[in-house]
Chains A and B, each alone.
Chain A
């Protein structure tokens, strides 16, 4: 990376690996960059049927509040490191929303966390992370950094 003012998007859900990704993004931003922390309210785990049934609205309000806390913590961490970070909350499928925000802000770099999944999950989800990186690079032109 050159020393120009880079736009960095860090997508986080506050997990251990995401916290490490936040640290990495802060460190990168310290070199001369603009940092945006992103939380995506994604209730897709409920399944299409359940989302309609139990009301996305009710759940998304709760997840929205959770996202605010997670982003607030990340922002405070950045502040302590002397970085004025922006925070954003998007709603929808995580992958699509991250992509949208990266394009919208014209980010040069996307920093995400990825949990170590153990031997079985590694094999089951083989290629999922590399697919994500490839896809994101292709569609947005941004560099992707994955922190485990």
Chain B
């Protein structure tokens, strides 16, 4: 720099402070704004990448650390006192990515300002953070699948260890930085949490009215002692209830009544319970709120309640029809062997045991549930997250029922909600470290860029995986994978891959006894009545139903969306 130039620097600084632009044609120095976006190789924005500028090899001091924007990946860095000879180098770094060095050589003059536009492509780095997140995910799956510890405990342990490693080893060595606390909190989908919480409160109040057991009694009344008719009516009732409320509660409330009917009729409860639980898992697939995987998918992909109903109900209806036919063949002998001599006697017994306990509360509950469903129907138009509808309904019903708030809130499945939150953090970490991206690439490669193969792959892998492992962590892992494939695969913009995931994850629950919580609960109650449902017993009846329903779903999706 010349002496003359040096002399005008203070003036230039003052000028710079007074205006954001500063052209110093006279002095030969000028200010430059280097701007652009930080992206990954898939052209997705990368937020929170740290950008450092080096001027002629020396680090350029900025007032604040320059970080790319979270959502857009955009960055902007203003450098003063640049001459034509100044060499500008940007070093862009982010944990789990390779550090990139970018030379800034070309400027444009816009108005009175110089700009350099540089997009920066960051590539993933398979480092310690990647391996740790993968290991934690695998360990969590093992702990949950083999029930070594409670699933909530497993997820808590996973999320806590990821954050602990980040803020201990990751503080000293960036290679161990897995996920920031801010990103971990951001990864939790509170729409899912609040929706589940709201619906749990509504169900907790509703079940006090005895309406669920009353429905089983009414089913018997309508069937007039015909066991096969009773079975079909109960299947339909269970499917509809499961579509609107959670499957586990539905089965906990209906199973004892059905077992009681079976015992009084002198038959094994299995020919009634198996069709019921299979119907519950199929019915729960029909709506956004029917099953936890659907709640997660709906929230992540911003799919509305109506979209779920329109796209999934036809498959559910077809699968229910197939289930009824299959159950007729499966249990025809057992159903027809029962001779009901004293229809009225049992009816009277059921009437006295399972009556509506609180008509006023039932009225309030049904009105609120109806209102919540109405809000679900219009939530897309109102741009209202479904959780708001559930929370509104829950709070109004709590008020109307004059329930003890503490008692009612104790009925909220807090362990499940915590499980969801921790799981979101674990999956968020695997997204950050690039594991999910790698899996998405693998699935894309396997499908060979074909939408048809992608649908088949997602549907069947989801179904088989959900029959073996908990479908909640599986769905959480699949969400970003399916999101990536929906963006990149031609034709997938119809959202078909989301429907494939929903149908696979929900129908898969029928594959084995451990495929869905509703199955385990039903088997537990049946065992207490001296009729255990063994793993093999369930497999023999459930697996064919799963295969047929997933096959129906495959045909439906391929016909409607390709």
Binding site for B on A (CB under 8 A): 12-16, 18-19, 41-43, 45-47, 49-50, 52-55, 58-59, 61-63, 65-66, 69-70, 73, 115
Which residues, 509 to 541 on B, are CB-close (under 8 Å) to A? 521, 524-525, 527-532
A62:B260 contact, CB within 8 angstroms: yes
B410:A45 contact, CB within 8 angstroms: no
Partner of B150, one of A13, A46, A47: A47
A14:B530 contact, CB within 8 angstroms: yes
Please report the C-alpha to C-alpha distance between residue A45 and residue B521 in the assembled complex, in whole angstroms: 8
B252:A54 contact, CB within 8 angstroms: yes
Please report the C-alpha to C-alpha distance between residue A42 and residue B525 in the assembled complex, in whole angstroms: 9
Please report the C-alpha to C-alpha distance between residue A30 and residue B353 in the assembled complex, in whole angstroms: 35
Would A46 and B411 be within 8 Å (CB), given that A18-B530, A58-B253, A66-B529 are in contact? no
A66:B256 contact, CB within 8 angstroms: yes
Partner of A58, one of B252, B263, B264, B532: B252
Q: Closest B residue to A41 by CB, please name it.
A: B528
Would A13 and B529 be within 8 Å (CB), given that A45-B524, A53-B413, A54-B248 are in contact? yes
Partner of B531, one of A12, A15, A59, A69: A15
| In the complex, B259 has a CB within 8 A of chain A | yes
Shortest CB-to-CB span from B313 to chain A, Å, is 27
B264:A13 contact, CB within 8 angstroms: no
A65:B530 contact, CB within 8 angstroms: no
Q: Closest B residue to A47 by CB, please name it.
A: B150
Would A46 and B528 be within 8 Å (CB), given that A63-B256, A69-B263 are in contact? no
Please report the C-alpha to C-alpha distance between residue A55 and residue B256 in the assembled complex, in whole angstroms: 14
Residues of B within 8 A of A69 (CB): 260, 263-264
B525:A59 contact, CB within 8 angstroms: yes
Please report the C-alpha to C-alpha distance between residue A43 and residue B411 in the assembled complex, in whole angstroms: 16
Q: Closest A residue to B252 by CB, please name it.
A: A54
Residues of A within 8 A of B257 (CB): 62
A42:B528 contact, CB within 8 angstroms: yes
Can you list 20 pairs linking A and B with CB atoms under 8 Å apart? A13-B528, A13-B530, A14-B263, A18-B530, A45-B524, A49-B413, A49-B416, A50-B413, A53-B411, A53-B412, A54-B249, A54-B252, A58-B253, A61-B256, A62-B213, A62-B256, A63-B529, A65-B256, A66-B263, A66-B529
Please report the C-alpha to C-alpha distance between residue A41 and residue B31 in the assembled complex, in whole angstroms: 80
Partner of A65, one of B150, B260, B527: B260
Residues of B within 8 A of A55 (CB): 204, 207, 411
A70:B529 contact, CB within 8 angstroms: yes
A63:B525 contact, CB within 8 angstroms: yes
Contact with A along B202-239 (1 / 0, CB 8 A): 00100100000100000000000000000000000000
Binding site for A on B (CB under 8 A): 150, 152, 200, 204, 207, 213, 248-249, 252-253, 255-257, 259-260, 263-264, 353, 410-416, 521, 524-525, 527-532
Please report the C-alpha to C-alpha distance between residue A12 and residue B530 in the assembled complex, in whole angstroms: 8
SS of A interface (majority)? helix
Please report the C-alpha to C-alpha distance between residue A75 and residue B199 in the assembled complex, in whole angstroms: 43
Would A62 and B249 be within 8 Å (CB), given that A14-B530, A49-B152, A55-B207 are in contact? no
Shortest CB-to-CB span from B157 to chain A, Å, is 16
Name the 7 nearest CB pairs between A and B, nearest first: A62-B256, A14-B530, A15-B530, A45-B524, A49-B415, A53-B413, A69-B263
Residues of A within 8 A of B213 (CB): 62
Q: Closest B residue to A15 by CB, please name it.
A: B530
Residues of A within 8 A of B253 (CB): 58, 62
Residues of B within 8 A of A42 (CB): 528
Residues of A within 8 A of B416 (CB): 49, 53
Q: Closest A residue to B251 by CB, please name it.
A: A54
Shortest CB-to-CB span from A124 to chain B, Å, is 13
A58:B260 contact, CB within 8 angstroms: no
Shortest CB-to-CB span from B146 to chain A, Å, is 13
A63:B528 contact, CB within 8 angstroms: yes
Partner of A52, one of B150, B410, B528: B410
Please report the C-alpha to C-alpha distance between residue A16 and residue B268 in the assembled complex, in whole angstroms: 11
Q: Closest A residue to B410 by CB, please name it.
A: A52
Shortest CB-to-CB span from A62 to chain B, Å, is 2
Please report the C-alpha to C-alpha distance between residue A49 and residue B264 in the assembled complex, in whole angstroms: 31
Would A46 and B521 be within 8 Å (CB), given that A62-B213, A69-B260 are in contact? yes
Residues of B within 8 A of A50 (CB): 248, 413, 521
Q: Closest A residue to B415 by CB, please name it.
A: A49
Residues of A within 8 A of B527 (CB): 13, 45
Please report the C-alpha to C-alpha distance between residue A43 and residue B412 in the assembled complex, in whole angstroms: 18
Residues of A within 8 A of B524 (CB): 45-46
Shortest CB-to-CB span from B454 to chain A, Å, is 36
Q: Closest B residue to A42 by CB, please name it.
A: B528
Residues of A within 8 A of B410 (CB): 52
Please report the C-alpha to C-alpha distance between residue A52 and residue B410 in the assembled complex, in whole angstroms: 7
Shortest CB-to-CB span from B351 to chain A, Å, is 13
Residues of A within 8 A of B415 (CB): 49, 53
Q: Closest B residue to A59 by CB, please name it.
A: B252
A58:B207 contact, CB within 8 angstroms: yes
**Extra contacts besides A52-B411, A58-B207, A70-B529 (5): CB < 8 Å:** A45-B527, A45-B528, A63-B256, A63-B529, A69-B264
Q: Closest A residue to B253 by CB, please name it.
A: A58
